Structure 1
């Protein structure tokens, strides 16, 4: 593995001669990822118009009392929890069942996204749903730009253009249309990885530290920072690289420390996850059962299970391409860690939005897919995007894909 794995882009070698990339034909190349992102909202608004009030009966009555019209499409499942945290904060005490176990509650949701919604809601006069929509749109656009920027640095403009199209139209990207934290996580992760390959250690550490306050699986950034620092110290004795792993866990650790003091229990988050939301690490047992259709509970929901199977296969193909493409070690480690954390979680597995969060897969895919093959894959992705965006609200009790 050459020093370039950490320090230099491989763009010049990987970007063959030919007509200008699509982004090069625009007045400003950075408009291209924004246009790619706009296509997701065109599809989303089309789905919302088609859904109309078809999904209203599926929405819990408590949600129907709080939200109306387009809000019922946008405030989907976890989005309602994030909005409640933004409005009311976290509970004063962990709610308990009669047997002493912790009930499902909002401490499972990390604080950065609700903090941003609250900050935007203040100048909007407390209109939290509108603030959430503004935050979602801006973060989604910014994440598309960040992924494009990272891909451009690693493999050149032409591959970056294809990568951001795949990122924006992959079926898991349907969560752009909800108040979900994946786009904020991708935004911070892409810029963190870019800082790592540029050896901007403090910047990378700060971005990773902020990222770990978004979602628990952003601990993958800690792994990426650790690997990048280890390589830099081993090869060039660059001890400044240690700033990245030292700073990387600060955001998530601060939330867990705060909650430990508030609830007088250092395991408050883990108890909420395991007892309240029935989520835990099972080292891939649930994923294997889903992919191989091994139990009756899985087979009872064929559409949901087929989705898990298809996206597991896509993830495996993506990993093979990622390893063959030999992207910088921190980028590869981040991707594999995100997938590992998802596949070994009892309630997550190969859900489309978790595969999508491992976005460097799209850089590797963009390097492999060209011409008509790329167009066919893009169309299939867009069709899957529309199907998931329409299917999920009509099957509210099946979990968020």
Structure 2
């Protein structure tokens, strides 16, 4: 981690010794060391926040007013995962006094809580222990896969910086609480690696499970489709040169994988409607979380960010959204970012498009952006000492702030 692109970086002797020690370890040991340090740091901040539960945590954060540390680690959305793990999904949607669909478990996908159910059923541990265990293990797997994904294109040093920001950053405490983020990240990074290695069976398996873990997995078959299109064009250049091979058998496997993952990504709203007997059950459930921010509105894709920006910031807010829409693609197309590889860049574009198209910016938005973690390995971000210092400071100082603001005071 003390060298990027083969150029020596001037660092203080103490930091150099630490960086050289990490760099001298095998890749798996270095990742494990950084991940362990991150988890100890997150545990410290969560433990310091825990005594404030009675005075600061809203009543709806932990159902039943449970005051154990395990309940604290499975607060907020973790309560819905516990409900699903123990009781499954409701067949009738709850409604408010006006007859509108209220917040309920159908907003949360089943892979994570059902995995915890298998663990608790086989070992007897309660959900409040099983959920953090599953999140911890999945987070470690995600860190290893993230390192491999970045290392294959940008090198070991960039990959270790990406792992550091991922496992020690402001939102890294979510890798050990009762949320599905860790599992979704491990599945997504694994699917991207499988795509790069053209292991379509494994890609399909991981992509389908990811589709039932968290929303946003449709970005994976979209990337597969774009990659396949590029290969198909390169294999059929009009000038007769063959820049890539794309045999028919592989084309069939790609189409089958894309169709399977696409179907899985679209299946949950259909399942929710079938079980509850209510059309748009899933959409109405998701929209129930928007009420406190913008009231009840009709869902129109590609408009939520403009809607809330104009509501809270007026014309200035709309201009900020437009700047992001232009600036983000421009940054993705920079030579430094492109060094992360075609798959990572395309996924970063596709997943960001999903977040922009269907989600409302709120406290949970930073959490939704965690799958973009490979971008932290961009040589442009980690090659400059001042940039690294800025990110390290933000990571270490930001986590206690977000633990207090997002986990103790309001839902992340």
Per the normalisation by structure 2, the TM-score is 0.79
Distance (Å, rounded) in 1 between the aligned partners of 2:383 and 2:332: 10
SS in 1 for 2:369: helix
Q: Residue 48 of structure 1 corresponds to which residue in structure 2?
A: 46
Counterparts of 1:264 and 1:122, CA distance in 2: 30
Separation in structure 2 between the aligned mates of residue 385 and residue 318 of structure 1, nearest angstrom: 28
CA contact (8 A) 1:172 1:353 kept: yes
Matched, 1:185 2:184: yes
Match of 1:245 among 241, 244, 258: 258
Aligned to 1:210: 209
Cα–Cα, structure 1 residues 208 and 218, in superposed 2: closer, same or farther, change >3 Å?
same
For the pair shown, which has the larger CA radius of gyration, 1 or 2?
2
Which stretch has the larger CA shift, 235-244 or 31-40?
235-244
Q: Residue 233 of structure 1 corresponds to which residue in structure 2?
A: 232
| Contiguous gaps of at least 5 residues in structure 2 | 10-18, 236-244, 292-296
Q: Is the 8 A contact 1:321 1:364 kept in 2?
A: no
**RMSD of aligned alpha carbons:** 3.4
Where do residues 352-391 of structure 1 align in structure 2 (5 Å cutoff)?
A: 352-364=366-378, 368-371=382-385, 373-391=387-405
Assess, with a 3 A threshold, how the Cα gap between structure 1 residues 351 and 364 changes in structure 2: closer, same or farther: same
The answer as to whether partners of 2:188 and 2:207 remain within 8 angstroms in 1 is: yes
Tell me how far 1:328 sits from its aligned partner: 3.2
Bigger Cα displacement from structure 2, 349-358 vs 103-112: 349-358
4+ residue runs of structure 1 moved beyond 6 angstroms?
17-21
Query: d(CA) in 2 for partners of 1:288 and 1:62?
Result: 27
- Counterpart of 1:283 in structure 2 is 302
Return the offset for 1:21: 7.1
The answer to whether the 8 A contact 1:212-1:250 is kept is no
Structure 1 match to 2:168 = 169
Closer, same or farther: CA 318–350 of 1 in aligned 2, 3 Å:
farther
Aligned 8 A contact 1:192 1:204 in 2:
yes
Match of 1:302 in 2: none
Q: 1:205·1:246 contact (CA, 8 Å) conserved in 2?
A: no
* Contact 1:220 1:334 survives alignment (8 Å): yes
For residues 149 and 383 of structure 2, what CA distance do their matches in structure 1 show?
18
Alignment-derived partner of residue 294 in structure 1: 313
1:88 matched to which residue of 2?
A: 87
The answer to whether residue 102 in structure 2 is matched with residue 103 in structure 1 is yes
Stretch of structure 1 that moved more, 386-395 or 245-254: 245-254
TM-aligned CA distance change 1:276 to 1:363, over 3 Å: closer
Q: How many angstroms apart in 1 are the aligned matches of 2:386 and 2:289?
A: 48
Q: What pairs up with 1:309-348 in 2 under 5 angstroms?
A: 320=331, 323-324=334-335, 325-326=337-338, 327-344=340-357, 345-348=359-362
Q: CA, structure 1 residues 341+22, in 2 after alignment: closer, same or farther (shift >3 Å)?
A: farther
Aligned to 1:65: 64
**1:16 equivalenced with 2:6 (yes/no):** yes
Contact 1:110 1:215 (C-alpha < 8 Å) held by counterparts = yes
How far has the Cα of 1:34 moved from its partner?
A: 2.0
How far apart in 1 are the matches of 2:61 and 2:400? 27
Report what 2:406 is aligned to.
392
Distance 1:153 1:243, change over 3 A: farther
Q: Superposition pairs for residues 125-136 of structure 1, below 5 Å?
A: 125-136=124-135
Residues of 2 paired with 1:153 and 1:316: CA distance?
26
Quote how far apart the aligned CAs of 1:195 are: 1.4
Deviation of the 1:373 alpha carbon: 3.4
Deviations 1:178-207 (A, max 9, x none): 211222111111111111122222322221
